[in-house]
Amino acid sequence: MANFNIDSTKNNTFDAIVIGSGISGGWAAKEFTEKGLKTLVLERGKSVEHIKDYPTTNLQPWELKHKGQAINDLRIKNPIAAKCYNYKEDSEHFFTKDDEQPYIQENRFDWIRSYQTGGKSLLWARQTQRMGDLDFQGPARDGFAVDWPIRYKDLAPWYSHVEKFAGISGEYDGLDVLPDGEFLKSLGLNCTEEHFKEVVAKKYGGSRHVIYARCAHITENKDIFTQQGRMLCQQRDLCRRGCPFGGYFSSNASTIPWAQKTGNLTLKNDAVVHSVIYDDTQEKATGVLVIDAITKETTEYFAPVIFVNGSAFNSNMILLNSKSKRFPNGLGNDNGLLGKYIAFHNYKVSISAEFDGNLDKTTEGRRPTSAYVPRFRNVHKQETDFLRGYAAGFSASRKIIQNKNGVGEELKENLLNPTYGNWRVGSHMMGETIPKEKSQLSLDATKTDKYGIPQLRINLDYDENDLKMVDDYVEQFTEMFEAAGFTNIKSNDNNRAPGNDIHEMGGVRMGKDPKTSLLDKWNRLHTCKNVYVTDGACMTSTATQNPSLTYMALTARAVDHAIKASKKG
């Protein structure tokens, strides 16, 4: 029996363990395996293989029974998931059902989840902006949260590293507030977006900018994409179905297959991580305890280095549940801050209008991105009664008017020859929220999920700072829209709950001081240095940028550090 146990342990031992196969977990798998490390990736959800498991990707509109709209019965059963903008008939199979993992909302929080190989990388909006020194210095400047232990120069080469592999379409804008990256050619702004750009530049003297929204889409053929088996974005704008061309970046199309080709990857699906195992004698983490999602059997896996990339809230939950004699309140939680100082992005309001110019022009194709307005508030000084700032999306398109009158040949001709109305323009805000101690995650003392894991309690809400930011966004964009000659301007408070932004962050924040943070500048737990966290949980503050690119860069940098540190013993 002793020999059996030794063999079992040997078979379950790897050079590295990565928890989660989403955007950050996929990058950890790629970086470890291509450097020769035998790597185990644990994914709590189902297996989804690139192309093979995209059942709706090539369906025509008439082949969808409900014309692409989410099936009503499923919406009723999944009221949280169904609130996501991407939850539709052709993509609902990529969303985790609400009852798969119940949680407790102390305030309303719409936790959007996607448990499968690749996670939410199959469903993300593919917007990719770098954070800059304005963002990394934010907490130190205004005293909210703690100072980041890194600056832009520390992450810049790693941004370049991941951008070249992922493929980022963008333009070189030369803005201090939003660093440039390694860009493929742009798909361009349309004429009305260009009009808005010109008006804003002239009115505000270069202090505000309208730019092409950088996106993770391949727009040029390069050898690195050919090696991945990916090709040009076809501008179908059906990304939520899974892209059979690999035109946009996802773990499924890119990092996971790349890791598999090395022969060093073991990917286990339906593997729900219960906790990280800490050995009090060795004074380090030695592995993870896993529950089989189907059989409910438990298995231990071992490795000298562990990357926790389960998505922000799941990573918090795993660490909170990783209790030992040394860490009775959760792994690395000597200071009691694990699960605290979480934050999100404020998408609470949008604004729309019409434009009766450029009526001799219209759009062509289905460009998978839009225009983008980088943060312009509180950049060089504190100029408002709220902290930090917001970025915004902006897009314009012609209204299509179809004549549905007539029958037979007349109806056919009417439908095939639509006319166009005025331009419709719209913008949505993406505001930075301030991490606060009262914004926190905790494990419920009595309620568990079907795996026996304590349910997560989420206590997070908007505050006065967020509401002041909303008012300012409406005021400023109304002014900008009026200057551009837009009419019928309307703002819309969408009553969107935190969580529906799908940008939850924090709880295992980086910092310089073990008394006020959980992770060091390399994303290691201060008090358990062979455990790294590089998904959204690690974020010290949220900035205004879409965060996925930053997770990728932090992950690649952390793996490089882990490998170098292991060589030094």
- 296-308 pLDDT, tens digit each: 999 999 999 999 9
Helices vs. strands in the chain: H and E counts, helices first: 13, 21
Amino acid identity at 277: I
Q: Give the C-alpha separation, 436 to 191, whole Å.
A: 42
The CATH number for 157's domain is 3.50.50.60
Cβ pair 344, 499 in contact under 8 A:
yes
Confidence of residue 6 (pLDDT cuts 50, 70, 90): low
Residue 35 located in a structural domain:
yes
Q: Quick check: is 127 in a domain?
A: yes
pLDDT at 4 over 90: no
Give the rounded percent of residues in the chain with a pLDDT score beyond 90: 89
Mean pLDDT, residues 51-74? 90
Q: What pLDDT shows up at residue 406?
A: 87
Give Cα separations from 350 to 53, 195, 375 (angstroms): 35, 20, 16
pLDDT value, residue 8 = 65
pLDDT for position 411: 86
Indicate whether 291 pLDDT > 90: yes
What's the domain range around 530?
13-95+112-169+244-335+502-569
Check pLDDT > 80 for residue 569: no
Domains held by the chain: number = 1
User: Quick check: is 415 in a domain?
Assistant: no
Please say if the pLDDT value at position 392 is more than 90. yes
Round the average pLDDT of the chain to a whole number and report it.
96
Specify if 189 maps to a domain. no
pLDDT in tens, 477-530: 999 999 999 999 999 999 899 999 999 999 999 999 999 999 999 999 999 999
What average pLDDT score do residues 277-286 get? 97
Express each pLDDT in 437-452 by its tens digit: 999 999 999 999 999 9
Instruction: Give residue 185's pLDDT.
Output: 98
**Which pLDDT belongs to residue 157?**
98
- The string of DSSP letters for 40-101 reads EEE-SSB---TTTT-TTTT--GGGSTTTTSPPHHHHHH-TTGGGSTT-STTTGGGSPPGGGS
Tens of pLDDT, residue by residue over 338-365, are 999 999 999 999 999 999 999 999 988 8
Determine which of 129-133, 396-400, 437-441 has the lowest per-residue pLDDT on average.
396-400
Position 38 pLDDT exceeds 90: yes
Residue 48 lies in a domain: yes
Residue 476 lies in a domain: no
Q: What is the band of 145 on the pLDDT scale with cuts at 50, 70, 90?
A: confident
| Average pLDDT of the residues in 367-379 | 97
Would you list the DSSP string of 495-562? Answer: -PPTTTTS--EEES-B-S-TTT-SB-TTSEETTEEEEEE-SGGG-S---SS-SHHHHHHHHHHHHHHH
Q: What is the mean pLDDT of residues 227-232?
A: 98
Q: Could you tell me what percent of the chain has a pLDDT over 70?
A: 98
Q: Is 177 left (phi over 0), alpha (psi -120 to 50) or beta?
A: alpha
Contact (Cβ atoms closer than 8 angstroms) between residue 196 and residue 484? yes
Q: In what order do the strands lie in the sheet with 265-268?
A: 265-268, 39-42, 16-19, 306-308, 528-533, 524-525
Checking if the pLDDT of 5 tops 80, the result is: no
pLDDT for 114 equals 98
Residue 518 counted as domain residue:
yes
**406-430 mean pLDDT:** 91
Predicted confidence (pLDDT) at residue 552 exceeds the cutoff of 80: yes
CA atoms within 13 A on the CB side of 423: 26
User: Is the pLDDT reported for residue 45 higher than 80?
Assistant: yes
pLDDT computed for residue 73 by the predictor: 85
pTM: 0.96
Average pLDDT over residues 540-555: 98
In a domain, 263, yes or no: yes
* pLDDT (average), residues 67-80: 86
